[in-house]
């Protein structure tokens, strides 16, 4: 049965942890659904995880929507959230609504996510929700704002007032949940208790309503990228490298293809 966004609120009310991952393709989404994740984010982190960019600012909305469609097909019974990339909503409410609608109509997403809780972001959130599309908020460390903040900076208690103001403004605007990224653990705990909507942490400690990670990081496919908040549950890069080396070796020495890998003429032909 298809989960919907209200499912996440129920989990918060029952104090059940919410599990989420990013996905960027059909096969990964299929496996994530089979594993039982509660929602999948098609993150603008794709720019870094898939295309090797240094940050998320170069994410292209057409590419994002195409990958969202692949994820939606791979996980038809899981909530899929499309991450609106930099430049797709800042200019105006009407542009934000137009691009959010594309994530739903073309990408098959169930909701979209926007970064920030300032007055501009709140206006965009309200406009999108008024158009009938659910929105997930995002506060704390904002990857799309690194040019303004001077890099990836953890949010500590000195920024408490601003953080709470942004988060509560987003909640009042009608977001159904919120990502808390790169926040001091006790501060994130306090904010999670304050919020009525589910708070999903990434680098925000142990006390949020749920956790999300970039799937490539979890699987050990991110090379030397080792932020403190990530746990690598397997190191697939090494496993894949050994398989590639074995294939190259067998081709060069004539072991592959072997007898059981080839077709012969049919009998009687």
Query: Shortest CA distance to 40 belongs to which of 225, 214, 178?
Result: 214
181: annotated active-site residue = yes
Indicate the angle between helix axes 185-194 and 160-173, nearest 10 degrees.
30
- Point out the catalytic residue in the list 90, 181, 250, 255: 181
In our burial notation (b when 16+ CB lie closer than 10 A, e otherwise), range 171-189 reads bebbbbbbbbbbbbeebbb
What's the distance, CA 18 to chain centroid?
Answer: 14
In our burial notation (b when 16+ CB lie closer than 10 A, e otherwise), range 87-106 reads ebbbeebeebbebbebbbee
57 three-state secondary structure: coil
Q: Show which residues are catalytic.
A: 181
């Amino acid at each position: 049965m298809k989960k919907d966004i209200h499912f996440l609120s129920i989990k918060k009310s029952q104090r059940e942890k919410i599990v989420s991952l990013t996905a960027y393709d059909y096969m990964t989404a299929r496996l994530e659904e089979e594993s039982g994740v509660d929602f999948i984010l098609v993150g603008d982190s794709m720019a870094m995880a898939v295309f090797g960019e240094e940050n998320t600012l170069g994410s292209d909305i057409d590419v994002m929507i195409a990958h969202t469609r692949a994820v939606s097909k791979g996980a038809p019974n899981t909530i899929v959230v499309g991450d609106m990339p930099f430049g797709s909503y800042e200019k105006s409410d009407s542009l934000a609504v137009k691009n959010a609608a594309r994530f739903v109509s073309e990408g098959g997403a169930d909701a979209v996510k926007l970064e920030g809780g300032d007055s501009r972001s709140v206006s965009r959130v309200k406009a999108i929700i008024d158009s009938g599309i659910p929105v997930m908020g995002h506060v704390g460390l904002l990857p799309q704002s690194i040019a303004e903040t001077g890099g990836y900076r953890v949010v500590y208690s000195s920024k408490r007032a601003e953080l709470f103001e942004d988060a509560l403004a987003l909640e009042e605007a009608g977001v159904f949940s919120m990502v808390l990224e790169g926040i001091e653990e006790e501060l994130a705990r306090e904010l999670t208790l304050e919020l009525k909507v589910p708070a999903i942490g990434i680098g925000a400690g142990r006390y949020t309503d749920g956790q999300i990670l970039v799937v490539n990081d979890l699987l050990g496919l991110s090379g030397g990228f080792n932020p403190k908040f990530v746990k690598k549950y397997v190191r697939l890069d090494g496993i894949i490298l050994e398989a590639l080396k074995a294939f190259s070796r067998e081709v060069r020495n004539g072991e592959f293809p072997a007898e059981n890998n080839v077709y012969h003429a049919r009998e009687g032909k």
